[in-house]
Amino acid sequence: MKLWSESFQDGAAIPGEFAFAVSDPKSHVALSSNRNPHLAWSDIPKGAQSLVLVCHDPDVPSRGDDVNQEGRSVPADLPRVDFFHWTLVDIPVGTASIAAALLSNAVTTRGKAGPVIPGDPLHGARQGLNDYTGWFAGDGDMRGEYFGYDGPCPPWNDALLHRYIFTLFAVDQAQLTVSGSFSGTDVRNALQGHVLAEASITGTYTLNPAL
């Protein structure tokens, strides 16, 4: 199975238009256009009943003590945890690509609708909650349920370059066994024992001008 993008090259930087935020010399960060990147795939194995897409950042700080604090830096050797930016399940096997900006084309404060995708552009596919839901839970201006894609916004003072791993799974179920407002962890657990093949590409991103 093969996966690629016209929006960024595997192993290269993700352009700011596909990020939640871009670097700003005065305020450190500014909201960006937050478009989902283009993705395309081929060589889906026989027997696949649907496809599942997951994007996660494995480089998120495990502690927030230093995150976005003036005069401080998040050390590169700090233990890191996963942060899910996108889960998309029940993609029909006849689908061969997702166009840039098809499912996200702006930052939507207080979240985006789901799991059903407005307009049903992918014919029954569902989107899960991404981890901005938890990240913004204590923010009166931003809190809400964030379904679907929301792009990179790593700490502006992180000494580590973040990776964003997009993985496409071919599965033996027409509908993945997740329901309601499912999370990235829910998807990861439901995939166990049902993956026929997978393919990944990785983009990088930073808001730290020193990197």
Condensed to tens digits (0 to 9), the pLDDT of residues 9-29 reads 999 999 999 999 999 999 999
- Record the tokens describing residue 134, joined without a space: 């938890």
Q: What is the pLDDT of residue 77?
A: 97
Q: What is the pLDDT of residue 48?
A: 98
Please name the helix (run of DSSP H) or strand (run of DSSP E) that holds residue 38, with its range, or none: none
Q: What is the pLDDT of residue 142?
A: 95
Stated pTM of the model: 0.97
- Name the pLDDT band for 183 (thresholds 50, 70, 90): very high
Tell me the backbone φ, ψ of residue 132, rounded to 5 degrees.
-65, -25
Q: What is the pLDDT of residue 114?
A: 95
Alpha helices in the chain (DSSP H): 132-135, 184-191
* 202 SS3 class: strand
Span 124-142, average pLDDT: 96
- Name the pLDDT band for 31 (thresholds 50, 70, 90): very high
Q: What is the pLDDT of residue 102?
A: 98
Q: What is the pLDDT of residue 167?
A: 98
Share of the chain above pLDDT 70, in %: 100
- Name the pLDDT band for 115 (thresholds 50, 70, 90): very high
Q: How many angstroms from the chain centroid is the CA of residue 104?
A: 11
Strand runs labelled E in the chain: 2-4, 21-24, 28-31, 39-42, 50-61, 80-91, 97-98, 111-112, 126-127, 145-146, 162-171, 195-205
- Name the pLDDT band for 38 (thresholds 50, 70, 90): very high
Average pLDDT, the chain: 97
Contacts of 183 (CB under 8 A, 6+ apart): 84, 87, 128, 129, 131
